[in-house]
């Protein structure tokens, strides 16, 4: 409960200190704009043609309303709408079926019974295996098992005047790992004396590829989605991997790489590499981060975060 209270207080502080949104063209707008399609010139032409057609129809004295009602009832587009709804429901059922075969979930299904320790260096091993495979973990073993973790981090881009703070929350039900994050990047707009901000929301599901077979190392495959929220709401599909290693007390090494694929624009690579110290259920990390998307705007710089497990 004490850990939950600390995480809630930290989230409240992050929200309370969130900067205002400015309407300026800066690095964050270039970063987000790489995934926005250019404005189409067809809209103006279609609007002008529709206005001319409406004016011509209004000036036509031989207009018959019954003619439009007949065409609306016999218009094949209404049938297409009905079939479109049917296709949508079928597509949803197929999507649910595909979700059952997501690789992280499939990997977890074939893993033996185990849990990850809450304190990496508290015992002799990082993984907890039940003494009795049929009965599962005993209450004493469950006391040392990891249920979840929360972390708060900061980021400073060196190539642009961009700062960021991030909060991650993870849960380990069974062998799966459920991950959620919220990050806010912001930069100072000198001309307006305000801050331009960009939010990143992410939700992922993953599983440990190594399981209890390789001690002192965790390797997760995760898939999910990210949403950019700034001038617009822009979703992306994510796939990535995260490595955590505890070679010698109290050293902690971490590395991760996520690729986000948007509906428009280049893919985004979010790569991190760091090291820190693990003491009990707490861990402090320092490292480097690279947000890369080809010729489009990207960021790179140092990161720091504090993590607590419960």
CA-to-CA distance for 286 and 37, rounded, in angstroms? Answer: 36
> Per-residue pLDDT averaged across 38-55, rounded?
52
Instruction: List the single range of 47-61, 134-148, 263-277 with lowest mean pLDDT.
Output: 47-61
- Give how far Cα 78 sits from Cα of 66, 71, 88, 90, Å: 18, 11, 15, 19
* Residue 130: Cβ-neighbour burial (10 angstroms; 0-12, 13-18, 19+): middle
pLDDT tens column, 228-254: 999 999 999 999 999 999 999 999 999
- In the chain, what percentage of residues exceed pLDDT 70? 71
Between 15 and 94, residue with greater pLDDT: 94
Alpha carbon separation from 84 to 76, 98, 275, 281, 284 (Å, rounded): 12, 21, 52, 52, 52
Q: What are phi and psi of 144, to 5 degrees?
A: -100, 0
Give the residue among 151, 146, 123, 143 at the shortest CA–CA distance from 246. 123
88-102, 185-199, 294-308: which range is least confident on average? 88-102
**What's the mean pLDDT in 96-112?**
71
pLDDT-based confidence at residue 105 (cuts at 50, 70, 90): confident
Confidence band (pLDDT; 50, 70, 90) for 109? confident
Please name each of the domains of the chain with its CATH number.
2-34+101-309 (2.40.128)
Dihedral (CA of 47, 51, 56, 58) sign: positive
pTM attached to this predicted model: 0.74
From CA 219, how far away is CA 180, in angstroms rounded?
Answer: 18
What distance in Å separates the CA atoms of residue 302 and residue 309, rounded to the nearest whole number?
23
Least confident of 111-120, 126-135, 182-191: 126-135
pLDDT tens column, 117-172: 999 998 888 999 888 776 777 888 888 999 999 999 999 999 999 999 999 999 99
| pLDDT of the residue at 141 | 85
């Amino acid at each position: 409960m004490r850990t939950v209270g600390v995480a809630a207080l930290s989230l409240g502080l992050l929200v309370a200190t969130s900067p205002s949104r400015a309407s300026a063209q800066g690095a964050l707008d270039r970063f987000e704009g790489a995934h926005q399609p250019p404005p189409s010139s067809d809209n103006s032409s279609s609007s002008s043609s529709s206005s001319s057609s409406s004016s011509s129809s209004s000036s036509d004295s031989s207009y018959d309303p019954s003619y439009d009602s007949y065409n609306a009832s016999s218009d094949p587009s209404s049938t297409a709408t009905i079939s479109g709804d049917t296709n949508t429901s079928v597509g949803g059922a197929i999507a649910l079926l595909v979700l059952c075969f997501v690789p992280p979930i499939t990997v977890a299904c074939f893993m033996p019974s185990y849990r990850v320790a809450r304190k990496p260096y508290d015992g002799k091993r990082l993984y907890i295996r039940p003494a009795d495979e049929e009965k599962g973990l005993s209450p004493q073993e469950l006391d040392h098992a990891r249920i979840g973790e929360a972390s708060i981090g900061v980021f400073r881009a060196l190539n642009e005047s961009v700062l960021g703070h991030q909060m991650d929350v993870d849960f380990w039900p069974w062998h799966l790992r459920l991950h959620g994050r919220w990050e806010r990047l912001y930069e100072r707009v000198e001309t307006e004396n305000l801050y331009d901000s960009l939010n990143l929301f992410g939700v992922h599901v993953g599983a440990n590829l190594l399981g209890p077979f390789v001690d002192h190392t965790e390797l997760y495959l995760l898939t999910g989605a990210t949403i950019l929220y700034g001038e617009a709401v822009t979703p992306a599909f994510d796939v990535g991997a995260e490595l955590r290693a505890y070679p010698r007390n109290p050293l902690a090494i971490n590395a991760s790489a996520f690729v986000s694929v948007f509906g428009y624009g280049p893919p985004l690579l979010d790569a991190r590499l760091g090291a820190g110290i693990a003491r009990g259920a707490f861990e402090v990390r320092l490292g480097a981060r690279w947000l890369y998307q080809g010729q489009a705007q990207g960021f790179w710089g140092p990161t720091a975060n504090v993590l607590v497990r419960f």
